[in-house]
Every structure is written in C-alpha cells, then in structure tokens.
Amino acid sequence: MSARAASELLLVGSLPADSTEQALRAGGELFGDMVFALPDGETGPRRAWVGYEREFLVRPHPDVEVVAETESPTGIPRHAYETPVFGIRSGVDELHWDSWPRIDDALESWRVFSALRSEGVIPAGVRFQVGLPFPSSALNGFKADFARDYPVAERAYEELVGRELVRLMSVIPPGDLALQWDMAYETQDIEGVLAWTAEGAWERFAGPVVRLTPQIPEDVMLGYHFCYGTFPEWPMYEARDMGLLVRMANYAVANSGRTVDWVHMAGPRYLRSEDRSFFRPLVDLETGPETRVFLGIVQPIDGESGLKRRHATASRYLSDFGVAMYCGFGRQPGADGLETMREHRRVVRSLR
C-alpha cells in the first residue's frame, strides 16, 4: 500500500498569520495543491506552542502551584529555562482535567475550515490538520520535583487526551482529519540535555506511543513531528546527526498499533548542509511504503540554494521524501507573513 500522505510538502503547524481564517485562506491559495492537509496556523496564544498548555491547562488547575514565575523582564519567557516552574500541591496524588482548551480551538477552527472548503477556497481532498503536543512537551513546566510530579501529571494528561480525542472526532469526521503528534522536549529529554528531568527519558516517549496512538481510528491520518524546538531559536539543541530522530521514527512506526501516515524529522543548521555524517542515519529508516517521510530542510536563511544543497545530501541516503520547514514557521522574523508563505511555496517549488 502506498502512503496516503502523498504530497511534496508538509506544513508542520504554525503559520505567520493573524487569525485562523487568514491562515486557512492563505494556506488554501498557496499550498492547497501541494499538501494533503492544512493546519489552522496555530495563531493567537497557541503561537507559543506548549506555552499554551502551561498557561491555559496547567496553571489554572487548583492542585498545581507556581513555584517560580518567569524571570523575563517582559513577563514573557525568552527561552526554555525562563518558563514558570510548576509543582503539584503536597498530598495530591491524582490530577484531573475536565477539558483541553486546545481541542476547543481545534473545533472552532474546523468550522472555519469546513466553510472555506465548501466555498472552494480549500480543495475538496485536503484534510484538516491538528497538532497535539506529546506529554513531555505539554508538561514541561513541572520542574520543581520532576520525579514526583511528572508521573502524576502525565497520567492525568493521557487520560485527558483519550477523552478529548473522542470529543474531537465526534465533530470532525475521521476521514476529514489528520492528527500530528508534536514533540521537541521528548527529543531533548532523550538526548539528556534538559536539566530538570530524571531517568526514564525513552519510556516518557515510548509509553505514550503505545498507549495513546492506538486510540486513533485508522480513518484518521496520523503523523509524528520530531525536532529539537525553536525556543528561542532553531535548534534549541544541535544534535550530532539524525540518529535519534531515526530511532524514534522507527519505534513509532513499529509500535503505534495502526498505520503511521507520515513522519517529519528536522534537519541540520544551514552550515551543515553538506555534512554527510548528519544525514547518514537515514539509511536505517524502517518506515515502509505506507509512511511518507518529510525532512525539515527548508530554512529561510538560505532559501532555494540551501534547500537544494540539503536535499542533495539527504538524497544520498534516502531516495524518496517530501520536505518541510524544520518546524512550524509562525514565529519567523519578518513583517509580512503572507510574503513569507509565498516565499515558502516558491522555494519548495524550486525542487521540481
């Protein structure tokens, strides 16, 4: 069976737009013939990615206490070590969240998407793409007593995700939906570069793969986004090569309990575009024909020429793949978001 995600481009998630409607209209116009699914741009508070979970899911919980606020002079964290620090109140062994604000936003965006698709702004065959953060990424604020607090928070988060997936799919037909598990803190956790985590990093990634992904029906397209984050810049941690991302992709495909339609793996900094050793682990990918591979090798810093160099290097080790930005690009510098998206289309088209 061939991959259902048979497109040349993946839009990872965030887009440089001011609203959901603006993101979807521009996405339909510029990328509708290039992608299998369109995200809503992750606009507004979701522009901060898992900062949204910190502020709208974790902080309001009555059994979560703020151990330390951000030390940023603006009140907005500038990097991963400047985020608020949370802890679970003494004596509390279980948490429960009634609902997930991210799902509320997805359902509201679906209404806009559905209307625009009915108007022909978005092509009929394009699905609605929703990115959901994996547990370690969503719960990165539990730094005070990670070994005690994280397992409690993770159990509650996984239970929440299971319930809210049902709510999401009760409104959005599975055949219209593409879900992407997003992870950046998981990769850094396994790399051993997060100062606040404890032993068991691989299980914090592998366990949710086995427990959460099988809950997603086969009619829903499903993908994984693996990268090292963009907070405050790309990458938060520069890996030696793509070995860990390949290992994670192989595990996800083999253990998800269902088809994995795509995997996205972020590439290197632009200075390593011809670094064969960085890309060489791609020969060990075991994803199979049902899984489309997208490499995050589009970078605004060097545009068309840089993409072609990285594409040529990666092609030594992987014969067929699509491309994407190294991560979402809703926070890219530049005043004109629409022009940024037009340039993204032009650069990707240059590979033809």
The ranges assigned to domains in the chain are 9-62+98-349
For the chain, the farthest-separated pair of C-alpha atoms sits apart, in whole angstroms, at: 60
Q: At what angle do helices 243-255 and 201-212 cross, to 10 degrees?
A: 30
pLDDT interval class at 333 (50, 70, 90): low
- List pLDDT tens digits, range 189-248: 999 999 999 999 999 999 999 999 999 999 999 999 999 998 888 898 899 999 999 999
For residues 307-313, give the mean pLDDT.
98
Instruction: Tell me the C-alpha distance between 26 and 31, whole Å.
Output: 8
Q: Assess contact for 284 and 230: CB atoms under 8 A.
A: no
Does domain 9-62+98-349 fall under CATH 3.30.750? My reply is no
Phi, psi (deg, nearest 5) at residue 309: -65, -45
H-assigned helices in the chain: 20-31, 51-53, 101-119, 135-138, 146-171, 185-191, 201-212, 243-255, 276-279, 303-315, 337-349
Q: Is the pLDDT of residue 6 over 80?
A: yes
For residues 87-112, give the mean pLDDT.
98
- List pLDDT tens digits, range 134-183: 999 999 999 999 999 999 999 999 999 999 999 999 999 999 999 999 99
Instruction: Tell me the C-alpha distance between 225 and 238, whole Å.
Output: 17
- List pLDDT tens digits, range 16-26: 999 999 999 99
What pLDDT is recorded for position 1?
67
Q: Is the pLDDT of residue 75 over 80?
A: no
Question: Average per-residue pLDDT in the chain?
Answer: 95
What pLDDT is recorded for position 79?
81
pLDDT interval class at 81 (50, 70, 90): confident
What pLDDT is recorded for position 10?
98
Reported pTM: 0.97
For residues 244-273, give the mean pLDDT.
97
E-strand stretches of 262-327: 262-266, 292-298, 322-325
What pLDDT is recorded for position 199?
95
What pLDDT is recorded for position 331?
80
Amino acid at 48: A
pLDDT interval class at 64 (50, 70, 90): very high
